[in-house]
Amino acid sequence: MSSSQILAGFHAVVARMRHAPDSIREIYIEASRKDKRMQSLVEQAEKNKIRIHPVPMSRLDGLAKGVRHQGVVALADPKQLAVNIDDVLDVIEGPAHLLILDSVTDPHNLGACLRTADAAGVHAVIAPKDKAVGINATVQRVACGAADTVPYIMVTNLARTMRQLKERDVWLIGTDDQASATFHDVDATRSIAWVMGAEGEGMRRLTRETCDELVRIPMQGSVESLNVSVASAVCLYETVRQRQVK
């Protein structure tokens, strides 16, 4: 059990069955639930020859360890999509589209960032090992399956990894409320990595200094900044917009 990855909720379990069914060891479901959504999940599991265990809600609560599970919890082998950034860049066709998250420790924010990254065609999300949340059950649930499709690479030294990206001709664009240029001024048709800091503190000094360019998201109302997952979505879709226009 300790070496298993816990997947809680329909989105996380169904997505893993779609992308890597062989990695799922077994699925636990709420014994009293018989609705169409549950029946569909059971049918998909049976088709993939995955063991199903109908259990009381208390057992599911214990397995999910506080994460909202909707009556479904799966135990699976951990799935590694990419070991390092070279694994990603070596197989990309066309310009790279990356997201770097500096010091984002909230699993809900990471899950939302991964979900948006998947939708925007991001090739990988990069974060430091020492100041970031890993892929846990909450991230899996919030990401709605994106944690199984977007490589999440945690690195020992973020600034060094950023310099390695520069050597691979990836332009590093940091977001900073005080920057004079806006994200609309960026040439997002080239290989780029958007660099986001956590709420409050923002990017760490060395991360900021390693960026090639700093831009801000124009704020028209009374709030000073956006949540990191929303800011990521705004910038990532600027890349999508520019590349579609091109």
pLDDT along the chain (246 residues), means of 10: 75 83 93 93 94 95 87 85 80 91 93 95 94 86 84 94 96 93 95 90 91 93 84 96 88
Strand order, beta sheet including 171-175: 152-155, 124-128, 97-102, 192-197, 171-175, 213-215
**What is the sign, positive or negative, of the torsion defined by CA atoms of 21, 26, 28, 32?**
positive
pTM: 0.76
pLDDT of residue 25: 93
Q: How far apart are the first and last CA of the chain?
A: 49
Could you give the CA distance from residue 207 to residue 102 in angstroms, rounded to a whole number? Answer: 8
Identify the pLDDT of residue 246.
65
The CA distance from 7 to 200, in Å, is 30
Residues of each annotated binding site for S-adenosyl-L-methionine: 197, 217, 226
| pLDDT at residue number 3 | 67
User: What residues does CATH 3.30.1330.30 cover in the chain?
Assistant: 5-76
So what's the pLDDT on residue 2? 47
5-76 is a CATH 3.40.640.10 domain: no
CATH fold group of domain 85-245 = Alpha/beta knot (3.40.1280)
DSSP result, the chain: -TTSEEEESHHHHHHHHHH-GGGEEEEEEETT--SHHHHHHHHHHHHTT-EEEEE-HHHHHHHHTTS--TTEEEEE----S-SSHHHHHTT--SS-EEEEEES---HHHHHHHHHHHHHTT-SEEEEESTTS----HHHHHHHTTGGGTS-EEEES-HHHHHHHHHHTTPEEEEE-TT-SSBGGGS-TTSSEEEEEEBTTTBS-HHHHHH-SEEEB----SS-S---HHHHHHHHHHHHHHHHHH-
The amino acid that residue 28 corresponds to is Y
Give, to the nearest 10 degrees, the angle between helix 10-19 and helix 36-47. 30
Binding-site members are 197, 217, 226
Tell me where in the chain the CATH 3.40.1280.10 domain(s) lie: 85-245
What whole-number distance in Å separates Cα of residue 213 and Cα of residue 194?
Answer: 10
